[in-house]
Chain A
């Protein structure tokens, strides 16, 4: 059995029965063993990424979310998604998780609205 702080052992949300540590730490990249070179190419921000970026700051300004909260929900993403999503895809998923968690919006509402927007998008 791994050494485990009682809080983590007792909390099914954070306890991950891996042999080396009690907490999933996909996000905690400092010192992560990799020799991957750093891709220094500049990225031109896309329109939807720019909106996602701004939406988060609008929500923070309204007191609806905080930087720490956004980080927390992104850290809750499954490892596969955390590593597979692009930067602003993680933000978008995180903002949605927070707004649903806080009962500001429901998943069903977002589903419906997104479907409607996609249909109109295709008509154009």
Chain B
């Protein structure tokens, strides 16, 4: 990758949690957003229920959606082949409604040789249709900065040791293209039913920072 030079003056450690001043501003921004919403409603630009309805719809998206897609790919080789070549069609065939204006989605497969890791260095683009809203850490300045230069170190913080033999590919998402990781099917799951496999597929395993759960560890959870 090209070298990137910071512009922050020497106090680049100053970011992180909002300080007291920023916390006081929470009320400020909440007020601005409420004000904008009511003005847009008054002007007839949006309907009174639009924001609430959209929030409910977004709430309904969760990593379980992605997990169902992954589990199906584990048990159905034909589906997996289609998922990797034409993911939108394959996912719609499973019964998911994907908006026609949704950004392009790519599904990338983790294997014994290759581990993919997803980041959005510029902001927070993420396959929301299948995973819901991104977790806080995915949007953090630290993850965005480090994932592309020290993916092994980042994964280590998530408890994942990746052998030097394994190639790490870091994929940088944009507004126009989103990635979903198809994690490896854990060993010892050959006899498991699809519905039970779904429970092994975690959000983080579809971002690529951790493997899917092993059946032994999920029994505890």
| Chain B binds chain A | yes
Residues of A within 8 A of B (CB): 16, 18, 20-21, 24-34, 36-43, 45-48, 50-55, 57-59, 61-62, 64, 66-68, 71, 74-75, 79, 83-89, 92-93, 95-96, 99, 104-105, 109-110, 113-114, 117-118, 121
B4 with A28: CB separation less than 8 A: yes
B29 with A36: CB separation less than 8 A: no
Are A83 and B157 also in contact (CB < 8 A) when A18-B7, A71-B175 are? no
A84 with B18: CB separation less than 8 A: yes
Q: Which of B5, B124, B154, B158 contacts A87 (CB 8 A)?
A: B124
Nearest-CB distance from B173 to chain A (Å)? 11
Question: Which stretch (B49-57, B67-75, B105-113) binds chain A?
Answer: B49-57
B35 with A110: CB separation less than 8 A: yes
Q: Which of A20, A30, A40, A53 contacts B137 (CB 8 A)?
A: A40
B158 with A40: CB separation less than 8 A: yes
A105 with B40: CB separation less than 8 A: yes
Give the chain A neighbours of B5 by CB distance below 8 A.
Answer: 20-21
Question: Which stretch (B9-17, B84-92, B185-193) binds chain A?
Answer: B9-17
Interface size on B, residues (CB 8 A): 67
Give the chain B neighbours of A39 by CB distance below 8 A.
Answer: 16, 136-137, 140, 142
New A-B contacts (12) at CB < 8 Å, excluding given A118-B27, A118-B31: A27-B122, A30-B147, A33-B12, A37-B142, A38-B154, A46-B26, A62-B45, A67-B175, A105-B36, A110-B32, A113-B38, A117-B38
Nearest-CB distance from A5 to chain B (Å)? 15
In whole angstroms, how far apart are the Cα atoms of A67 and B125 in the complex? Answer: 9
Are A25 and B157 also in contact (CB < 8 A) when A42-B136, A48-B33 are? no
Q: Which of B15, B121, B123 contacts A74 (CB 8 A)?
A: B123
A43 with B46: CB separation less than 8 A: no
A84 with B37: CB separation less than 8 A: no
Give the chain B neighbours of A85 by CB distance below 8 A.
Answer: 18, 22, 25
Give the chain B neighbours of A74 by CB distance below 8 A.
Answer: 123
Q: Is B34 an interface residue (CB 8 A)?
A: yes
Are A55 and B29 also in contact (CB < 8 A) when A36-B142, A39-B136, A43-B136 are? no
Tell me which residues from 128 to 148 in chain B have a Cβ below 8 Å from any Cβ of chain A.
133, 135-137, 139-148
Closest-by-CB residue of B relative to A116 is: B35
B136 with A30: CB separation less than 8 A: no
In whole angstroms, how far apart are the Cα atoms of A121 and B26 in the complex? Answer: 14
A83 with B122: CB separation less than 8 A: no
In whole angstroms, how far apart are the Cα atoms of A50 and B52 in the complex? Answer: 9
Give the chain A neighbours of B172 by CB distance below 8 A.
Answer: 30
A51 with B4: CB separation less than 8 A: no
**Most interface-central of B35, B122, B141 (chain A CB within 10 A):** B35
**5 closest residue pairs by CB, A with B:** A30-B121, A48-B30, A113-B35, A54-B55, A32-B145
Q: Is B3 an interface residue (CB 8 A)?
A: yes
A29 with B35: CB separation less than 8 A: no
